[in-house]
Structure 1
Amino acid sequence: MAELENSKDLISVLWSGADILRSKMDANEYKDYLLGIVFYKYLSDSFLIKVYDMICDGKPETLREALNVYIEELKGEDAEELKEQMKDECHYVIEPELTYTYFADAARNNSFNREQLQKGFNNIEQSDPIFADLFTDIDLYSNRLGTGDQKQSDTVASLIKEIDKADLLNSNAEILGNAYEYLIGQFASETGKKAGEFYTPQAVSKILTQIAIAGQEDRKGLSVYDPCMGSGSLLLNAKKYAEHPGYIKYYGQELNTSTYNLARMNMFLHGIAAENQKLRNGDTLDGDWPTEEETDFHMVLMNPPYSAKWSAAAGFLQDERFSDYGVLAPKSKADYAFLLHGLYHLKSNGTMAIVLPHGVLFRGAAEWKIREKLLRSGNIYAVIGLPANLFYNTSIPTCIIVLKKHRDGRDVLFIDASKKFDKGKKQNEMTDDHIKSVMELYTKRETVEKESFLARFEDIEKNDFNLNIPRYVDNFEKEEEVDLSELLTEMKKTDEELEQVQGEFLSLLKELTSDDETIMSSLNDLIGKMEG
């Protein structure tokens, strides 16, 4: 319970930091400032807590106490050795005057200098390749922060003071990670259409992850890969369901540099060790990655951009990811290019789960050929239809396709989950109960009337490899039969009631009088028409 309270306190502090910037820029911009400065505080606070522990073998009462101990130790002859030890431990070293604690004190005393914060950012970025260019998106000299040097500096100082209220000393990685995750979700909600590139709603993440990890929960050294990772939330879900979360290896690639930086921060804030994360900023389709060390994974999770354009250059027909299929995904719709990339990187005993638009289930031409080959090879294991309007950037209904590399059967489980949602203000939402019922249907893997259908390969072949869900799951609600004699009785009764009311109305009209001849003439006409 205390953990939940801490998490709520942390969220409210971080959200009030957003209030400082909200009037100056939109959510897609201020998320970079807020999340970047929170991350710097996390690095600084973690550093001071570790340095205190190294010197005093314990936990400090306050960060100011840790900073004072650190300053004293640097005066001694073991200063360089301490810095070396800290570099090995943290991958970075922060000088006392560049710690967040020092900045927060300066901000309170009106002596904060944003050049120092910029220097702090630069030092972290240069300390280790894993931090390279991490703070690129935070422009401490932007006109959006205010007009003129003083106002801009004041805005940054206000933000630093506000975020300093977040007690990271007594918050574990789970609390901080959850608070960060919540913020990313809130930004996605505020940003709307632009959110699609960095955020997958938690309900969809939960279903994808539970499906991909099923049967592998107790695997030590589980590897998980997301080639379109956004802010990394989907990757990080794996640790919620794994029995040995400390041993998970995370691999992810992201095209958008700002979003890639967000994912790197998200990993650290969730307490993921540097050696367990391999993240890359790059174009997943244009250049295959990873191509060295680990190249196939136990879990592949994907929520790629829907029906995106790609080059579909003829050279890709020689690319090992696509060469088995004889055709390429069309230029205007890269959906199958993403799917085949993910499948190529799946271990023979692993599971892949990908979210795509329904078109991939039934479109013809090259997509038909790819789909036929996948079905003949037994790669498609399940198709799950999701409710419409779940995502921030599109209202179209989507589906999850579950794939396996090698298996004995070629049957496909179809699940229609399109009605499993609660209506929200902006988006529809799937609750934990909805998720549970989808997972039960998935695990059962049998036909359940109006909910799921286990199709044999022959059924699919007869349908010309069309995977459109309504062909397999009939969720049509038959209307109740109408009792005609009951309907006639009702109509007769309604007629009688109308006649009675009309009679009463006529009596009332006849009682009306007026000295005005025109009014009386109109009234008598009306009475005549009603009686006629």
Structure 2
Amino acid sequence: MAQLENIEAIEKRLWSAADTLRANSNYAANEYFMPVMGLIFLRHAYSRYLAVKDDIIASLPSRGGKTREVTKEDFSQRGAIYLQPHAQFDTLVGLPDSADRAQALISAMESIEADYSSLAGVLPKAEYQQLENNVLGQLLRTLNPEELKKATGDIFGRIYEYFLTAFADVGAHDGGEFFTPVSLVRLITNIIEPDHGKVLDPACGSGGMFVQSAHFVERLKQNPSELLTFYGAEKNATTIRLAKMNLAVHGLSGDIQKAISYYEDPHELLHKADFVMANPPFNVDEVDAEAVKNDPRLPFGLPGVNKGNKVSNGNYLWISYFYSYLNDKGRAGFVMSSQASSAGRDEARVRQKLVETGHVDAMVAIRSNFFYTRTVPCELWFFDKAKPAEHKDHVLMLDARNTYRKVTRKIYDFAPDQLANLTAIVWLYRGEQQRFLDLVAEHLGETVAAARDCREPLIALRNAIDTLTDQIKPAISAVGNAALTQSLVELESATTDYCAEAGAFDSDVQACNSFWQGVTSTNALLLAAGNKFKSLAEHSRDLIKDSDLLYKLSSRLLEDYARYAHEDDTPNPTIRDLNRSRKTAEESRKSLVEKLKQVRHYWKAAHWLQEKFPSAELRDIPGLVKRVSLAQIAANDWSLTPGRYVGQAPEEQDDDFDFEQALREIHIELRGLNDEAVELAAEIASSFEGLGI
């Protein structure tokens, strides 16, 4: 999460710099699009290259004292591509102004295409000759800020998505959906578990479904290139290039064909796909009904035709296609407009036939603002043609609209623990209780580990405050100001409270750590651990408030002292020394708070699961989940909208809000404002006197 906190500012700065160069040149947005995306591709490739390079070299076998040379296969096995020295981003950034940057970039791209045949003719090359040498230099430097040098793939995924969308906004592309948010794709992969065979995305955009499928296999400690075969279809030639670049940068390849999936099945995968994943365009109403009416991919018939002989809404064409591509054991997961799950008339008829197959596995409602390019809510649909008999007459309805985190003011996603917990509900639905318990154990283990990591930061903050207090105490005594003396007393009292709380926390950490050593992944023991570790979460919450109060009190004390020291010309200690100590205290506080937040974060993740499913068995939770029978669905007009079944969640109390603490903080702020008001009044009075008023 720390890396994502500043992503909005980074995105805007990078885009602003790149777009300013375009605006001040003779290039149209569509001329600028592929060269810039090619540079982002290179920067992302270089980041992944560096991430695995040292481990690869360290693991190379030796014979006769000679270590084998690195190969591109070494990098492909680690989800990266091999970059020759002249294709590495640092080399390109470091080129002197006298160098021909366009030719250097062309050579870099050609070397990558030579090593990876799947990229032949895909990467931008000649496009760089359209850009002036100084413009390319600025672009290279712009896309190489310090924040990105150690960034993860998620950061680059966001930036990739942002640039795609921004270019679409300025007319560089057709504005289609290029990139499905990583957290939604991960939830899809977590539920359908694509661990073998043919993976199809008939609306593949920039290939995010394939990348996350590969990551799923990597988390199983397997090689995705050996287990998965990717098939994609995309109508836009430029987007196909982007998809192939996205696959390649992760060490993957796939068969991606140019096709309009409404009318074509370029891979001939009817009834052959093991997994289907997609985020198709929503609510398209221009599909030629005559051209598709006899399509074998429409086993439930057309969803409705308007007066212009067009399919009224293409949503159910996609839904039918996804279903038909699956083999008799296949699973599908896809994003769909929220309108589709309760659409009426001919669409309802198709939906009824689909539900009656017994292959609709789960429905997940997603709140708005998960996409850059659309703010409307959506739903995730899941099919499973190999559903066990006990689930054939039921559908899991999961309403995840109240589960999210804010990445920016406008963009939401799922935090890793939220993703894991939503997936765990599906495990319970499938009777996989041990996986659920292992996840709870993982959360609780992280709670204890995070608590242990707080020891040194707790001491560091205490030492920083003590140093600051020792510096300023003699000077305050010399000044003899009652208000300053009172502020010092408050700081010393808060320090005493902080130390007492820190001591209690440390004792609790030792007790919980000892208890944890005897815990196995059984529900009874994990429930006991969850109850015991609650005190760690409470201590961490209280210590965050105590540390914040310490810093506010010490800052107020220094600000007050600075005014008196200036007036009295007090030489010792200097304001510079005190500010240096305050900065040390603030850095210590930030480090501590970050650690303490993790304790409560992991405990709450475990508590969320244990509170809702105390028996480690699926049960109906208002506002969250319900196992719904086909009879219930039939009684509700065959609706597949989760909110229609799970009902409203009870209003949750914010147990992190401390009224007493809030009043103390307000008191501190108010006192400071009062002091400033007195000073300002004195200055105004003095000014009036100077004017003879």
- Which TM class, normalised by the smaller chain length? 0.5 to 0.7
Partner of 2:207: 232
Query: 1:241: Cα distance to partner?
Result: 2.5
- Distance, in Å, in 2 between the alignment partners of 1:256 and 1:228 is 10
What SS does the aligned partner of 2:223 have? helix
Amino acid at match of 1:420: T
- Distance, in Å, in 2 between the alignment partners of 1:165 and 1:464 is 54
Query: 1:364: Cα distance to partner?
Result: 2.0
The answer to whether residue 419 in structure 2 is matched with residue 435 in structure 1 is yes
Whether the aligned pair in 2 keeps the contact of 1:125 and 1:133 (CA below 8 Å) is yes
Query: 1:304: Cα distance to partner?
Result: 1.0
Residue 18 (structure 2) aligned to one of 17, 21, 26: 21
Residue 110 (structure 1) aligned to one of 67, 91, 98: 98
Residue 319 (structure 1) aligned to one of 279, 282, 295: 295
Query: 1:412: Cα distance to partner?
Result: 1.4
Structure-2 change in CA distance of 1:117 and 1:419 (3 Å): closer
- Distance, in Å, in 2 between the alignment partners of 1:238 and 1:426 is 27
Whether the aligned pair in 2 keeps the contact of 1:212 and 1:301 (CA below 8 Å) is no
- Distance, in Å, in 2 between the alignment partners of 1:380 and 1:97 is 51
Amino acid at match of 2:295: D
Partner of 1:449: 622
Partner of 1:468: 641
Paired-residue identity, %: 20
Whether the aligned pair in 1 keeps the contact of 2:274 and 2:331 (CA below 8 Å) is yes
- Distance, in Å, in 1 between the alignment partners of 2:116 and 2:428 is 48
What SS does the aligned partner of 1:203 have? helix
Partner of 1:72: none
The answer to whether residue 198 in structure 2 is matched with residue 223 in structure 1 is yes
Query: 1:415: Cα distance to partner?
Result: 1.5
Partner of 1:426: 410
Partner of 1:349: 329
- Distance, in Å, in 1 between the alignment partners of 2:396 and 2:370 is 22
Query: 1:463: Cα distance to partner?
Result: 2.2
Structure-2 change in CA distance of 1:209 and 1:44 (3 Å): closer
Structure-2 change in CA distance of 1:390 and 1:101 (3 Å): closer
Partner of 1:411: 394
Whether the aligned pair in 2 keeps the contact of 1:415 and 1:451 (CA below 8 Å) is yes
Whether the aligned pair in 1 keeps the contact of 2:199 and 2:277 (CA below 8 Å) is yes
Query: 1:235: Cα distance to partner?
Result: 1.8
Structure-2 change in CA distance of 1:103 and 1:14 (3 Å): farther
What SS does the aligned partner of 2:327 have? strand
Partner of 2:56: none
TM-score where L is the length of structure 2: 0.51
Matches within 5 A, 1:128-207: 130-135=118-123, 139-142=127-130, 152-160=132-140, 177-178=153-154, 180-187=156-163, 197-207=177-187
Whether the aligned pair in 2 keeps the contact of 1:192 and 1:393 (CA below 8 Å) is no
Whether the aligned pair in 2 keeps the contact of 1:316 and 1:328 (CA below 8 Å) is no
The answer to whether residue 289 in structure 2 is matched with residue 287 in structure 1 is no
Whether the aligned pair in 1 keeps the contact of 2:303 and 2:312 (CA below 8 Å) is no
Q: Return the structure number with greater helix share.
A: 2
Amino acid at match of 2:292: F
- Distance, in Å, in 1 between the alignment partners of 2:162 and 2:82 is 32
Whether the aligned pair in 2 keeps the contact of 1:285 and 1:337 (CA below 8 Å) is yes
Amino acid at match of 1:37: L
Structure-2 change in CA distance of 1:241 and 1:472 (3 Å): same
Query: 1:138: Cα distance to partner?
Result: 7.1
Whether the aligned pair in 2 keeps the contact of 1:387 and 1:419 (CA below 8 Å) is yes
Amino acid at match of 2:36: L
Amino acid at match of 1:440: A
Query: 1:318: Cα distance to partner?
Result: 2.2
- Distance, in Å, in 2 between the alignment partners of 1:450 and 1:314 is 43
Structure-2 change in CA distance of 1:262 and 1:97 (3 Å): closer
Amino acid at match of 1:130: S
The answer to whether residue 359 in structure 2 is matched with residue 376 in structure 1 is no
What SS does the aligned partner of 1:347 have? strand
- The count of residues paired between Structure 1 and Structure 2 equals 426
What per-residue deviation string (whole Å, max 9, x for no partner) do you get for residues 299-329 of structure 1? 221111111234233242322211x213246
TM-score where L is the length of structure 1: 0.65
Whether the aligned pair in 2 keeps the contact of 1:229 and 1:302 (CA below 8 Å) is yes
- Distance, in Å, in 2 between the alignment partners of 1:262 and 1:185 is 11
Cα RMSD (Å): 4.8
Partner of 1:34: 36
Structure-2 change in CA distance of 1:109 and 1:437 (3 Å): closer
Query: 1:353: Cα distance to partner?
Result: 1.0
What SS does the aligned partner of 1:140 have? helix
- Distance, in Å, in 2 between the alignment partners of 1:101 and 1:430 is 33
Whether the aligned pair in 2 keeps the contact of 1:15 and 1:183 (CA below 8 Å) is no
What per-residue deviation string (whole Å, max 9, x for no partner) do you get for residues 336-388 of structure 1? 11122222222322321111112111212321121011011112111111112
Structure-2 change in CA distance of 1:162 and 1:459 (3 Å): closer
Query: 1:264: Cα distance to partner?
Result: 0.9
- Distance, in Å, in 1 between the alignment partners of 2:620 and 2:20 is 53
- Distance, in Å, in 1 between the alignment partners of 2:36 and 2:158 is 13
- Distance, in Å, in 1 between the alignment partners of 2:290 and 2:146 is 53
The answer to whether residue 252 in structure 2 is matched with residue 252 in structure 1 is no
- Distance, in Å, in 2 between the alignment partners of 1:431 and 1:95 is 36
Structure-2 change in CA distance of 1:25 and 1:306 (3 Å): farther
Amino acid at match of 2:394: D
What per-residue deviation string (whole Å, max 9, x for no partner) do you get for residues 206-263 of structure 1? 21111110xx6xx4x4432222222222221123322254234222222222222111
What per-residue deviation string (whole Å, max 9, x for no partner) do you get for residues 438-468 of structure 1? 2233333342233222121111222231233
- Distance, in Å, in 2 between the alignment partners of 1:94 and 1:438 is 38
Gaps of 5+ in 2: 24-28, 50-58, 62-68, 306-310, 430-618, 653-693
- Distance, in Å, in 2 between the alignment partners of 1:182 and 1:244 is 26
Whether the aligned pair in 1 keeps the contact of 2:370 and 2:413 (CA below 8 Å) is yes
The answer to whether residue 341 in structure 2 is matched with residue 365 in structure 1 is no
Whether the aligned pair in 2 keeps the contact of 1:226 and 1:300 (CA below 8 Å) is yes
- Distance, in Å, in 2 between the alignment partners of 1:43 and 1:416 is 37
Residue 391 (structure 1) aligned to one of 363, 371, 384: 371
Whether the aligned pair in 1 keeps the contact of 2:161 and 2:179 (CA below 8 Å) is yes
Gaps of 5+ in 1: 48-56, 60-81, 146-151, 480-532
Whether the aligned pair in 1 keeps the contact of 2:15 and 2:163 (CA below 8 Å) is no
Higher deviation after alignment, 310-319 or 187-196: 187-196
Query: 1:475: Cα distance to partner?
Result: 0.9
Amino acid at match of 1:318: N
Whether the aligned pair in 1 keeps the contact of 2:365 and 2:401 (CA below 8 Å) is yes
